[in-house]
A and B are shown apart, each in its own frame.
Chain A
Amino acid sequence: MKKFTIAASFVAASFAMAMPAQAWQPTKPIEFVVASGPGGGTDNFARIIQSIITKHKLVEQPIVVLNKGGGSGAEAFIYGKGGKGDAHKVVFGTNNAYLLPYVAKLGYKFSDLTPVAALALDEFLIWVNGNSPYNDAKAYIDAVKAKPGSFKMAGSQSKDTDQTLTAMIQDATGAKWIYVPFQGGGAAATQLAGGHVDSNTNNPNENIGQWKAGQVKPLCVFSPVRLAKGEPVHNGKGWGDIPTCKEAGLPLESFQMPRTVWLPAEVPADAVGFYADVMEKVSKTPEWAEFVARTAQTARFMKGKELTDFVAKDEAANAKVFKDEGWVVN
């Protein structure tokens, strides 16, 4: 993990050296267009970046945050499409930027956006109620398999990351849940804490409050390596003590969601460089490190080819699930 960050920053540093002077500079206030409502994961992501940029004065112009969360965030990307060539509109999203057009008829294509950077990977875990008899992922999956279609999995929204992951687990293990879509991760967390559903696949940040109180417990994390150690959260256990799902015996290694930054199509290449540079500086501040640690995400800065490769791979993996589940609209 650490080795990787060093390597990444090394690559990034050599990139920065290759492009000495930034020709493009913002000339008017910059809009941060957020593909979620206020308080959502993407909203926190954009606002923490806004606060870091403001604090360290990384950009001369003021920054205005605009929430466009309609249509699961599609509204923000359509707004980005409308701002073709305008490098003062920065769109914040997740992998929804390139996945949404698969599952819903929307007025934009992935090619209407220019990739800038990704700053972190958000993790997914299997969580069960704190009083549940299952203490490891294998036992839980076996129980679900024994009684197909009677266990309930909560997630946020439909045909989005949570349901995709649920479909992947079902495909890999042969277990079968009833998937119940809620408005957001917060509702899915409370429903699990109240014992109305059997499990959810929330991000660490969405369930941490309930875990602290022992109302829910994590079984395994869909990450190639364990999470950073951090402070103990409940009963002396912390994020680093959660086994990866592979260790727990699940035939599904990794499922992560990138936190991404985009520009509209046809913006000057210098502008892309400018924002990638700003984001890279953000990703190296102590405030960013603190945010990533607190929300138990994995810090990983990507730009340029590394980012497009990641996107292509992630897109292919998700598109396969969408096809198998019959969610593809076009």
Chain B
Amino acid sequence: MITRFQAEIGTALATLAFGLVIVNGAREFGIGWDSSGPQPGAFPFYCGLLIALASLGTLVSTVGRRLGGSAALADSFLDREQAKRVISFFLPMLAFIVLSVTLGMYVAMVLYLVFAMRFQGRFGWVPTLATAFGTAAFFYFGLEKFAQVSLLKGPVETMLGL
């Protein structure tokens, strides 16, 4: 189980790191104020600095409330059951992206929908396959044929001559 305290601290550390990346990237362009106003790096620099300082603020206040014995922080952020649900949704999504960039988006779309409907949603094969191929066909004709927008394609699409 992840407590709210851990999640707060983790997120604040992540935004702090993001702020520092921005600050570091902005220094290259000058952060001062010259005769024509702020230098190119000034605006991102102060944005990054604000992010970093406000993240520190969140860190300090969270730790402070923890020391003060705030009950809300000890609450669950994500219990085992919830985590399972989120991960069972997130991992197929990740797999969909990986398949998209390797096998092409149409193949990925069909595989992903089949997996989600047949094995997660427990639908029968007929509605599953109909939905999966129907969706792929809809996007193929809507995007490639009608709108002439092409999606990522892999070896299978090339083989089919799409």
Nearest residue (CB) in B for A149 is B35
Chain B residues with CB under 8 A of A64: 148-149
Contacts across chains A and B counted by CB atoms under 8 Å: 5
Chain B residues with CB under 8 A of A178: 36
Query: Closest CB of chain A to B140's CB: distance in Å?
Result: 15
Chain A residues with CB under 8 A of B148: 29, 62, 64
Within A159-182, the residues touching B (CB, 8 Å) are 178
Q: What total of chain B residues lie within 8 Å of the partner, measured CB to CB?
A: 3
Nearest residue (CB) in B for A65 is B148
B interface majority secondary structure: loop
Docked CA distance A64–B149 (Å): 8
Within B113-153, the residues touching A (CB, 8 Å) are 148-149
Query: Closest CB of chain B to A246's CB: distance in Å?
Result: 32
Query: Closest CB of chain B to A33's CB: distance in Å?
Result: 13
Chain A residues with CB under 8 A of B36: 178
Query: Closest CB of chain B to A80's CB: distance in Å?
Result: 17
Docked CA distance A178–B148 (Å): 45
Nearest residue (CB) in A for B149 is A64
Nearest residue (CB) in A for B36 is A178
Query: Closest CB of chain B to A293's CB: distance in Å?
Result: 31
Query: Closest CB of chain B to A284's CB: distance in Å?
Result: 28
Within B35-62, the residues touching A (CB, 8 Å) are 36
Within A167-209, the residues touching B (CB, 8 Å) are 178
Chain A residues with CB under 8 A of B149: 64
Chain B residues with CB under 8 A of A62: 148
A66-88 CB contact bits vs B (8 Å, 1 = yes)? 00000000000000000000000
Query: Closest CB of chain B to A186's CB: distance in Å?
Result: 23
Nearest residue (CB) in B for A63 is B148
Nearest residue (CB) in A for B28 is A105
Query: Closest CB of chain B to A170's CB: distance in Å?
Result: 16
Query: Closest CB of chain B to A185's CB: distance in Å?
Result: 21
Docked CA distance A4–B149 (Å): 41
Within A46-74, the residues touching B (CB, 8 Å) are 62, 64
Chain B residues with CB under 8 A of A29: 148
Nearest residue (CB) in A for B148 is A64
Docked CA distance A276–B78 (Å): 62
Docked CA distance A309–B36 (Å): 39
Docked CA distance A324–B148 (Å): 46
Docked CA distance A178–B149 (Å): 44
Query: Closest CB of chain B to A89's CB: distance in Å?
Result: 12
Docked CA distance A29–B149 (Å): 11
Within A202-229, the residues touching B (CB, 8 Å) are none
Docked CA distance A62–B149 (Å): 12
Within B16-43, the residues touching A (CB, 8 Å) are 36
A25-60 CB contact bits vs B (8 Å, 1 = yes)? 000010000000000000000000000000000000
Nearest residue (CB) in B for A29 is B148
Docked CA distance A29–B148 (Å): 9
Query: Closest CB of chain A to B95's CB: distance in Å?
Result: 26
Docked CA distance A62–B36 (Å): 48
Query: Closest CB of chain B to A270's CB: distance in Å?
Result: 23
Query: Closest CB of chain B to A126's CB: distance in Å?
Result: 22
Nearest residue (CB) in B for A179 is B36
Nearest residue (CB) in A for B144 is A29
Query: Closest CB of chain A to B28's CB: distance in Å?
Result: 10
Query: Closest CB of chain A to B102's CB: distance in Å?
Result: 18
Docked CA distance A29–B145 (Å): 11
Query: Closest CB of chain B to A166's CB: distance in Å?
Result: 14
Query: Closest CB of chain B to A227's CB: distance in Å?
Result: 34
Query: Closest CB of chain A to B29's CB: distance in Å?
Result: 12
- A-B contacts, 5 of them at CB < 8 A, read A29-B148, A62-B148, A64-B148, A64-B149, A178-B36
| Chain A interfacial positions (CB closer than 8 Å to B) | 29, 62, 64, 178
Kindly list the 5 A-B residue pairs having the minimum CB-CB distance in the complex, ordered from nearest. A64-B148, A62-B148, A29-B148, A178-B36, A64-B149
